[in-house]
Amino acid sequence: MTALPDVLSCIQPTADLHIGNYFGAVANWVQLQETHDCVYGVVDMHAITMPYDPDELRVNTRNMVIDLLACGIDPEKSTLFIQSLVPEHCELCWILSSQCSYGELSRMTQFKDKSAKLERESADEFISAGLFIYPVLQAADILAYRAASVPVGKDQEQHLELSRSIGRRFNQRFDTDFFPEPKALYTQTPRIMSLAQPDSKMSKSAGVKHYIGLFEEEASIRKKVKTAVTDTGELAEGQYMSAGVGNLFTILRACEADAVADQLETDYKADQLKYSELKGAVADSLVELTGRFRARRDELLADADGVDAQVREMSAKAREIAAETLRGVRKFAGFPAM
C-alpha cells in the first residue's frame, strides 16, 4: 500500500503570484514540508470553469510550478503534481457527485459570486455546469489522497466541510471507513492588504498599484511601497494605528524583519516615526526576499526541460496514490476491477 500524505493543498494556476499569496499560503507550505509528508497540486482543471485561453493556461500552469519551486517547495521533501496529469481526480469527481446534493452545491458562495461576476461582465458568456459542480472536483482533489489535514483559511472552510460531508456520506452509503475526514489545518498566516486601499485584501484584480508581485523588479517594488497609503484620517475609537501603517508593519514582520519592526514600532508609540523610514525598511525587506526568489526562478528557467521532467515524475507519484484510492472506490461503488 502506498503511504498516504499528512497534508494536501492545491493552488490554481493564475498569473504571477503576489506577496499576499506567498505570505498567506505558499510560505506555510514551505514550512509544513519540514515536519509533514505533503502533497501539493497545481489544479489546472479548475481553471477552465471560467472563460480562459488554452495557451495562457498551459503557460500559467508551467509558470506556477516553477514559481512554487522557486519559493522553496522541495521535491525531496514534498510531491508537487499537476492536476490534469492525474486523471483519477475526474473519475473520482463523477463518482462522488452521486454523494452530493444539488442543494449543497447551490449554497456554495463562490458559485454565487463568480456566476454573478460573469453576468455583470458579459452577456455573451454562459455560466458553465463546471462552475456549479467544481466543489465536487475540489472534494475529489482532497479525498483522492486521503490526507489527514488540509491547510485552509476562513474563506475556504465551506468547501472543506463539503469534502468531509461527501466522504462521510460515501462511507455511510457503502458501510466503510475508507475515507478519513480531513481536518482543517489552521496556521498563523498574515493577512496582507492592498497598498493603495488598505481596508481591502491584496489582489491583482484591483490593479497594479494594489499589489507587489513575488518576482517583481526592485525599482517597481520601491516605487509602490513609497506611494503606499498610510494615514487616511482620524483613528476610530480603540484603534491603535491606521490600516495602512498596520499593513506596512505586517509586511515587515512577515519578511521576518522583527528587530527593525520592533524599533520602528517603538518610534511610532513615541510619535517619532517617519513614514519614509518605515516604507524604506519595508522596501528593503521585500527587495531582499524577492531577489532570492528571482535568482532561484532564473536557475529553474535555465533548466526548464529538467523541471518539466521532474514535475511529470512527481505527478506520476501522486497518481499512484490516487489510483490506489480509485481501486478501493470502484470496488465499493460496484464497478469492475481495472
| Residue ranges of the chain assigned to CATH 1.10.240.10 | 204-297
Give mean pLDDT, residues 143-161.
84
**pLDDT of the residue at 115:** 74
CA 133/CA 159 separation, integer angstroms: 12
**CB 298: neighbour CB atoms within 10 A?**
11
With a cut of 70, say whether residue 154 has pLDDT above it. no
Q: Detail the residues annotated as belonging to a binding site.
A: 12-14, 20-21, 141, 153-155, 192, 201-205
Select which of 77, 112, 183, 201 is catalytic. Answer: 201
Q: What is the pLDDT of residues 176-223, one digit of tens each?
A: 999 999 998 887 778 899 999 998 999 888 889 999 999 999 999 999
Q: Detail the residues annotated as belonging to a binding site for L-tryptophan.
A: 141
Give mean pLDDT, residues 94-122.
83
| Residue ranges of the chain assigned to CATH 3.40.50.620 | 7-189+304-333
The more confident residue out of 48 and 112 is: 48
| Residues 204-297, CATH architecture | Orthogonal Bundle (1.10)
User: In the annotation, is 204 catalytic?
Assistant: yes
Average pLDDT value over all residues in the chain: 91
User: In the annotation, is 114 catalytic?
Assistant: yes
The pLDDT confidence band at residue 18, using thresholds 50, 70 and 90, is very high
pLDDT > 70 fraction of the chain, expressed in percent and rounded? 95
Specify the fold of 7-189+304-333. Answer: Rossmann fold (3.40.50)
Q: Detail the residues annotated as belonging to a binding site for ATP.
A: 12-14, 20-21, 153-155, 192, 201-205
Q: What is the pLDDT of residues 287-315, one digit of tens each?
A: 999 999 999 999 999 999 999 999 999 99
**pLDDT of the residue at 233:** 65
Predicted TM-score (pTM) of the model is 0.91
Select which of 204, 209, 317, 331 is catalytic. Answer: 204
**pLDDT of the residue at 73:** 97
Select which of 77, 112, 114, 226 is catalytic. Answer: 114
User: In the annotation, is 77 catalytic?
Assistant: no
